Amino acid sequence: MEKFKSIIRDYPFIAFIIAFVILAFVPSLVFTDVYQSHLATLIFVNIVVAAGLNIVKGYCGQVTVGHVGLFAVGSYTAGTLFLYLGLGFWATLPIAIIVTAFFGVAMGIPSFRLEGPYLALATLGGGEAIRLFIENGNFFRSTFGISDIPTPSLMGYNFDSPDRYYFISMTIMIIAVYFSFSILRSGVGRAFMSIREDPICAAAAGINVKKYKILAFILSAMFAGAAGAVYAHMPPGYIHPNNYTVIEMVTFLAMVVLGGLGHIWGGIIGAIVITIVYDLTRPLYKYQLLIFGLTIVLTILFMPKGLGGFIDRYFLEKRFKKKTGTEKTT
Amino acid sequence: MILKTKQLSKSFGGLKAINKVDFELPKNEIRGIIGPNGSGKSTFFNLVSGIYDSDPGSYIEFDGHDITFAPPHEIATYGLSRTFQLLRLYQDMTVIDNVMSGYHTRVPYKFFDAVIGRKKIWDQERAIKEEMMELLSFVGLADYAELNASELSGGQRRLLVLARAIAMKPKLLMLDEPAAGLSPVNVDNLMKIIMQLKEKYGLTLIIIEHILKVVMDTCNSVTVFDHGQKIAEGTPAQVKDDNAVIEAYLGKKMDDEEMRKALAV
């Protein structure tokens, strides 16, 4: 067991391969109908977005409310590339990631001068502007949405149904989560955190604050772009501007806040919980925003570090007691 | 000379917070900076570390680099580290993360390696962590490594800030009131640790401090600021007897005639 632990420590991707294998067997062993596969794909898409949002908001501390705009950029890059050039998933995914990264730069530039609620307003404007641009341009087929975006196929095998597409979304999710883990556990993650806590002190400690802020925005935009492309190609392959409103933004925020801002698992836990709750409360769609708004407020009031921080805290106090023999209370 | 300023000035509107200061600091010296509140000590630190831009005509040189217009993160990479009067602790990070973030300028790997997550990275990260744990146990905070910085007591926070500033292995360490708010016993303890660290890393030190006993006991030389100007410089003994210094701190020395006049009004 010790040996296994040290192997995982040196080569963390082995843990992700194990997770991949386990998740690969879930549909055939656990799921009872196709809808559950569809739901799982949605969860994976949301995990990718939330993991990216956790980088910029949770770690770097830049309050961005325009992330859904970047998600839309990812989706619509994929959608329009299919519509006008007929490109398939394997071409649209990387292009969507790159294009969204550029939009991330634009979204990040206000953060040089603005912070807190003012940055939130600026990015909210940015996100809404992207949505309105898509909604009012005939180029993007705003009225009816873009439909029949094809599912990917690999070596003759077409991932054309939800239970097949599950594997595509899962693979992307595992890769994205692996990248987010390696980034956040390295010195880069620490630099992000120092900027969140105190930009002036971070600068004095040798961290190039502007560079790292933009880096955080680019990275999270790339995550959002990948998620957007996966979402666009998800069967039945239909996207519409109405899927990228502030309501979606609130759910993304609720995911990160509930999972734990600045916790490495934060976005992932939150995305799983919120997506399932979102699905279960569909009959109460009038009250969904109320539920998620309330979730954010209550989590910040009673669990400022979210579920992830809450669980961490429990184990930390246990360890501290064992080490020093004293109770640590705050 | 490790640090040299010429005609260093900074004004905020009409107020000249620092007015034409020439400052020179040889290597391996411990320099104390004293002066009443508002005399420009902290502004001097902020100018040197690049947090404020100095006025035109100023010149700052650190270790052979012209840093007059350099941004703070660049100055840090040349080996200048500082602490803040208000600590600026990373409250929501663990103690060990606080110290490790001070290591930033020395992190050996490139960003791209970190994204891929190669084995090399985790080896180096562990080496950094071990080194920083050593530093933490040196200042006596090893048991608290996994706690949040916000859970430490006032004295422990001062030690943590010191450790974080040391983590980058600076050539010059500037301490802004390291002992503010500590009890006499803790002050002695802190100064002992600072002296040990100086020996261990071969540091040059600048210390702003209001506790004059600390300055007089530990510093090789003292610079006195008042109203943004350097009014005296020399060994602690020289500075203690300097008329300008006594005037700045206690008021003017008057003869009987002057005193009578002053009281009559």
A316 touches chain B (CB under 8 A): yes
Instruction: Tell which residue, B147, B144, B154, B166, has the closest CA to residue B99.
Output: B166
Which residues in chain A have Cβ-Cβ distances shorter than 8 Å to B116? Answer: 182
- Reported as a single tens digit per residue, the pLDDT across B31-41 is 999 998 889 99
Q: Count Cβ–Cβ pairs < 8 Å, chain A vs chain B.
A: 114
Dihedral pair phi/psi, residue A256, rounded to 5°: -65, -40
The DSSP code for A141 is T
Look at chain B and count its residues.
Answer: 265
Say yes or no for a CB contact (<8 Å) between A203 and B151.
no
Substitution target from B46, B86, B88 for chain A, most A beta carbons within 10 A: B88
- Reported as a single tens digit per residue, the pLDDT across B81-131 is 999 999 999 999 999 999 999 999 998 888 888 888 888 888 999 999 999
3-state helix/strand/coil string of A58-110: HHCCCCCCCHHHHHHHHHHHHHHHHHHHCCCHHHHHHHHHHHHHHHHHHHHHH
**What local confidence, expressed as pLDDT, does residue B262 receive?**
76
Residue A223, token pair as written in the block? 């995550």
Residue B160, token pair as written in the block? 């943590």
Distances (CA, A) of B180 to A306, B187, B216: 35, 9, 16
Say yes or no for a CB contact (<8 Å) between A190 and B164.
no
The DSSP code for A22 is H
Lowest mean pLDDT among A105-114, B46-55, B112-121, B165-174: B112-121
Task: Give the chain B residue nearest A180 (alpha carbons).
Answer: B115
Say yes or no for a CB contact (<8 Å) between B146 and A319.
yes
- The domains of chain A are located at 35-324
Which residues in chain A have Cβ-Cβ distances shorter than 8 Å to B157? Answer: none
**What local confidence, expressed as pLDDT, does residue A325 receive?**
72
Q: Could you tell me which CATH class the domain A35-324 is placed in?
A: mainly alpha
Helix A246-259 to helix A117-136 angle (10° resolution) is 140
Task: Tell me the pLDDT band of B265, cut-offs 50, 70 and 90.
Answer: low
A87 touches chain B (CB under 8 A): no
**What local confidence, expressed as pLDDT, does residue A51 receive?**
94
A328 touches chain B (CB under 8 A): yes
Choose the closest CB to B82 out of A190, A196, A204.
A204
**What local confidence, expressed as pLDDT, does residue B129 receive?**
94
Domains of chain B in start order, with CATH, are 3-12+27-264 (3.40.50.300)
**What local confidence, expressed as pLDDT, does residue A292 receive?**
86
**What local confidence, expressed as pLDDT, does residue A27 receive?**
87
Say yes or no for a CB contact (<8 Å) between A205 and B102.
yes
Choose the closest CB to B73 out of A187, A196, A208.
A208
Continuous segment of H or E residues that includes residue B209: none
Q: What residue ranges in B53-212 does DSSP mark as E strands?
A: 59-62, 65-66, 80-82, 172-176, 204-208
Helix A162-185 to helix A209-233 angle (10° resolution) is 170
Look at chain A and count its residues.
Answer: 330
Are A80 and A140 contacting, i.e. CB atoms less than 8 angstroms apart? Answer: yes
A178: distance to nearest CA of chain B, Å? Answer: 9
Dihedral pair phi/psi, residue A179, rounded to 5°: -60, -45
Are B253 and B262 contacting, i.e. CB atoms less than 8 angstroms apart? Answer: no
The residue with tokens 């360890």 is A319
Instruction: Tell which residue, A214, A210, A109, has the closest CA to residue B74.
Output: A210
**What local confidence, expressed as pLDDT, does residue B193 receive?**
93
Task: Give the chain B residue nearest A321 (alpha carbons).
Answer: B143
The CA angle B156-B159-B161, to the nearest 5 degrees, is: 110
Say yes or no for a CB contact (<8 Å) between A208 and B92.
no
How much is the ipTM here? 0.91
Continuous segment of H or E residues that includes residue A235: none
A208 touches chain B (CB under 8 A): yes
A190 touches chain B (CB under 8 A): yes
The CA angle B211-B215-B218, to the nearest 5 degrees, is: 135
Are B222 and B239 contacting, i.e. CB atoms less than 8 angstroms apart? Answer: yes
**Residue B62 class from Cβ within 10 Å (0-12 exposed, 13-18 middle, 19+ buried)?**
buried
- Three-state DSSP at A157 gives strand
Angstrom distance (rounded) from CA A92 to CA B116: 23
Q: Is B63's pLDDT higher than 60?
A: yes
Residue A228, token pair as written in the block? 């957007």
Residue A226, token pair as written in the block? 């990948």
**What local confidence, expressed as pLDDT, does residue A329 receive?**
52
Residue A268, token pair as written in the block? 């992932």
Instruction: Tell which residue, B25, B158, B10, has the closest CA to residue B83.
Output: B158
Stretches where chain A sits below pLDDT 50 are 330
**What local confidence, expressed as pLDDT, does residue A328 receive?**
57
Interface of B with A (CB under 8 A): 49-51, 71-73, 76-77, 81-82, 84, 88-93, 97, 100-105, 107, 109, 111, 114-117, 119, 121-123, 125, 143, 146-147, 151, 164, 168
Choose the closest CB to B90 out of A12, A198, A203.
A198
Choose the closest CB to B104 out of A182, A187, A323.
A187
Radius of gyration for chain B, computed over Cα atoms and rounded to the nearest angstrom: 21
Choose the closest CB to A328 out of B115, B116, B147.
B147
Are A225 and A101 contacting, i.e. CB atoms less than 8 angstroms apart? Answer: yes
CB atoms within 10 A of CB B231: 18
- The mean of the pLDDT values for chain B is 91
Residue A201, token pair as written in the block? 């002190």
Residue B261, token pair as written in the block? 């006049």
Say yes or no for a CB contact (<8 Å) between A206 and B109.
no
- Reported as a single tens digit per residue, the pLDDT across A62-106 is 999 999 999 999 999 999 999 999 999 999 999 999 999 999 999
